[in-house]
Structure 1
Amino acid sequence: MAVPSKPLPALYVVYVLRSTVRKASFYIGSTPNPPRRLNQHNGVAKGGAVRTSRKSLRPWEMVAVVSGFPGKIAALKFEMVRWALANPHLSLHIPSSDRITIATQKKRNGHPKRPPYSLTSVISNLHLLLRVPSFLRWPLKLHFFNRDVHTAWLKWCGTADEQLRDTMEIVTDFEPEAETEVADNAEPGNEGEEATTSAPLWGIHALPMDYAPLREIVTKTESIFSFEREGNCVVCGEHLPTGGGVYAACTNTGCEGVGHVSCWSKHLLGPGVTDEVLPISGHCPECKGSVTWGEMMTEMTLRMHGRKEVEKLFKKPRKRRVPAKAAAK
């Protein structure tokens, strides 16, 4: 049975979970919905993992996630990425000479026993995995939601022999400090009473779970391809017949540069690069603005294989019906 074509996932992450009770207890997993998954690990929703079900370790917090895993092929490798991060002592993605976590004990069946997690081991192996050839050119983004964990990351990066590529985006989003304000309707004599303001979304709850961030880009490309304004390839100059190939478009506002995917790839890789096929980023030859390969491919697969998702993107929210009695008041 053929595997149906699907757009690149709006969100898919490898996450690092840490117990708020026992700081040395970690769990690593993968999910397309971090908030829901965290609720499962904490017993708020059905699901989760046996290793996180112990009440003595709950509640758990997601201290870091890696996002940006691209579509079909990458999604199939996703669990391999998670397993590699959870089992660095066995993973073939990490050369034995470079392994930081080494198995010193064996199970009853003779296989290496996974060493216990620690903050240093999780951080160091994460750093190592993000720069090995298997994942180096993927459009990944590293998010930190805990100050202590981010500090440990910075400390490790300062001592590491090798650094991550310059285009690797590191994002921090820590819990905001509690802010209070004096209530507007405070009664005389109670000026000291404070009312807690509504807390802004942060961390995993601020991550976009759908394609909403691409709405403006999709609006532009929908117009280009619906009205057959493909024009000529912005790289090779060849005419682009409507529906005659797989075309990618510039993601910058106001630019309608379109081209063959293969041409975009060669252009973004740069002259003389023959040993790579997956670009990371570059500049549009039409508007000269910066573009990232991952964002271009997400838009293209959404346009070609995600009609339902596109319709949801532009669907107007339903108006709430107000009961007659409530409207009369």
Structure 2
Amino acid sequence: MTVQPKPIPALYCVYILRSTVRHGSLYIGSTPNPPRRLSQHNGQVKGGAVRTSRSSLRPWEMVALVSGFASSTAALKFEWALTNPHTSLHIPSESRLAFSTQRKRNGQPKRPPKSLTSILSNLHLLLSVPSFARWPLTVHFFAKDVHGAWLRWCNKAEKQLRESLPLVTDFGDNITAGASASKLPELPSATMSDPMEQEDEEMQKPTWGIHALPLDYELLKDYVAKGQDIFEFERHGNCVVCKEEIDPDEGGLHAVCSNEGCEGVGHLRCWGRHLLEGEDGGGEEAVLPVGGRCPRCRGQVHWGTMMKELTLRVRGAKEVEKLLSVKRKRASKKTAKKVGQPKS
């Protein structure tokens, strides 16, 4: 069986779940669809983990999550490390914050008890270790007290996170984004038949927190359309970094600047080298860029965003067709309308 390569998903995250009834009950999981996954944990939709099925602990809330994982495998790797910080090989033994004091029947170390402080401290630690420090991740907080606990830990932690790591807070009343108890939403009943009532229920759904996260590629539509247009009409020109000719037929990978109005295209290896050279804290051993400036337009670019567009272009034909179909239909109608207009 051959595994077909897939584009980087629109969203894949590792989340922290907390019982609204007993705040000491916590759970860590991963998902490409946080609203649906929360509904499963709360018994509104079939599925969910056994550990969150106790009615005495429901409803649950997602108080924080980390997004930006390039695949489900990457998210599961991070989830396992965050759930098992006492044994994870991603954490050097001298840096561990969690230790097991008991053994299972099979002799393996037993997981130490989880608390909000232990989870947040180990989350901070994982985001700073070489395995994950340069991944294009974003940290989100949806509860003020959890965000406050995070800030307190950051202030006393010995190792600081990279300054360019995005941090987003969304508490419903205000949303902030920077570099450095929510009510369980009511879902439409499965037996509801009145379209007007269904529409009212949809309008009452929360539009903040996990419900405001993009679950599709809609935000990349213009960027993806630009990349498709550049290579479809062979307007790629020479590499913006090395200035050598770009030959799409030679099988190489080519990245496109994400800034509006800029059509800078370059070899993937050239983009990577250019961005790494422009980073102050990259270090000689770093191989994964975080971001920097486009050589052509001098605008800021984000490596994770560029790779998402690239993988969509070379691996996601179906996703691209679906994403751009509405835009193309509208353009066709607009052109037809202009053609049908009488000349003045």
When the two structures are superposed, what TM-score results if normalisation uses the length of structure 2? 0.83
Long gaps (5+) in structure 2: 175-181, 183-202, 330-344
Specify the alignment match of 2:33 in structure 1.
Answer: 33
Matched, 1:243 2:249: yes
Which stretch shifts more, 279-288 or 1-10? 1-10
Specify the alignment match of 1:307 in structure 2.
Answer: 317
| Cα deviation 1:38-59 (Å, max 9, x = unaligned) | 0110000111001000111111
Which stretch shifts more, 112-121 or 231-240? 112-121
TM-aligned CA deviation for residue 273 of structure 1: 5.8
Pairs within 5 Å for 1:211-226: 211-226=217-232
Distance 1:118 1:45, change over 3 A: same
In 2, the alpha carbon distance for the partners of 1:126 and 1:277 equals 23
Specify the alignment match of 1:163 in structure 2.
Answer: 160
- List structure 1 segments (4+ residues) > 3 angstroms apart after TM superposition: 197-200, 271-274
In 1, the alpha carbon distance for the partners of 2:68 and 2:228 equals 23
| Cα deviation 1:268-292 (Å, max 9, x = unaligned) | 0007965222111110000000001
Distance 1:37 1:199, change over 3 A: closer
Specify the alignment match of 1:115 in structure 2.
Answer: 112
In 1, the alpha carbon distance for the partners of 2:226 and 2:131 equals 34
Specify the alignment match of 1:67 in structure 2.
Answer: 67
Specify the alignment match of 1:291 in structure 2.
Answer: 301
Specify the alignment match of 1:269 in structure 2.
Answer: 276
| Cα deviation 1:112-147 (Å, max 9, x = unaligned) | 111111111011010001111110110010000110
One-letter amino acid matched to 1:269: L
TM-aligned CA deviation for residue 198 of structure 1: 5.9
Tell me the number of residue pairs that the alignment of Structure 1 and Structure 2 aligns.
Answer: 298
Specify the alignment match of 1:192 in structure 2.
Answer: none
Q: Which one of the candidate residues 132, 135, 141 is aligned to 1:135?
A: 132
One-letter amino acid matched to 1:262: R
One-letter amino acid matched to 2:221: R
In 1, the alpha carbon distance for the partners of 2:90 and 2:206 equals 39
Distance 1:25 1:217, change over 3 A: same
Q: Which one of the candidate residues 264, 267, 290 is aligned to 1:260?
A: 267
Which stretch shifts more, 122-131 or 264-273? 264-273
> SS state of the match for residue 315, structure 1?
helix
One-letter amino acid matched to 1:120: T
Give the alignment's Cα RMSD to 1 decimal. Answer: 2.1
Matched, 1:209 2:206: no
Distance 1:219 1:67, change over 3 A: same
Specify the alignment match of 2:149 in structure 1.
Answer: 152
| Cα deviation 1:19-67 (Å, max 9, x = unaligned) | 0001011000111111111011000011100100011111100001100
In 2, the alpha carbon distance for the partners of 1:106 and 1:267 equals 49
| Cα deviation 1:160-213 (Å, max 9, x = unaligned) | 1111001100000112399xxxxxxxxxxxxxxxxxx96761111000000001
Specify the alignment match of 2:96 in structure 1.
Answer: 99
TM-aligned CA deviation for residue 98 of structure 1: 1.6
Specify the alignment match of 1:53 in structure 2.
Answer: 53
In 1, the alpha carbon distance for the partners of 2:96 and 2:21 equals 29
In 1, the alpha carbon distance for the partners of 2:132 and 2:65 equals 15
Specify the alignment match of 2:177 in structure 1.
Answer: none
| Cα deviation 1:199-239 (Å, max 9, x = unaligned) | 76111100000000101111211211111001000000001
Specify the alignment match of 1:327 in structure 2.
Answer: none
Specify the alignment match of 1:323 in structure 2.
Answer: none
When the two structures are superposed, what TM-score results if normalisation uses the length of structure 1? 0.86
In 2, the alpha carbon distance for the partners of 1:99 and 1:240 equals 47
Distance 1:45 1:200, change over 3 A: closer
One-letter amino acid matched to 1:11: L
One-letter amino acid matched to 1:175: G
Specify the alignment match of 1:44 in structure 2.
Answer: 44
| Cα deviation 1:248-275 (Å, max 9, x = unaligned) | 0000000000000000000000079652
In 1, the alpha carbon distance for the partners of 2:131 and 2:326 equals 41
TM-aligned CA deviation for residue 2 of structure 1: 2.5
Higher helix share: 2
> SS state of the match for residue 28, structure 2?
strand
In 2, the alpha carbon distance for the partners of 1:266 and 1:200 equals 43
Query: How many percent of aligned residue pairs carry the same amino acid?
Result: 62
Long gaps (5+) in structure 1: 179-196, 319-329
In 2, the alpha carbon distance for the partners of 1:267 and 1:39 equals 44
In 2, the alpha carbon distance for the partners of 1:9 and 1:123 equals 25
In 1, the alpha carbon distance for the partners of 2:255 and 2:36 equals 33
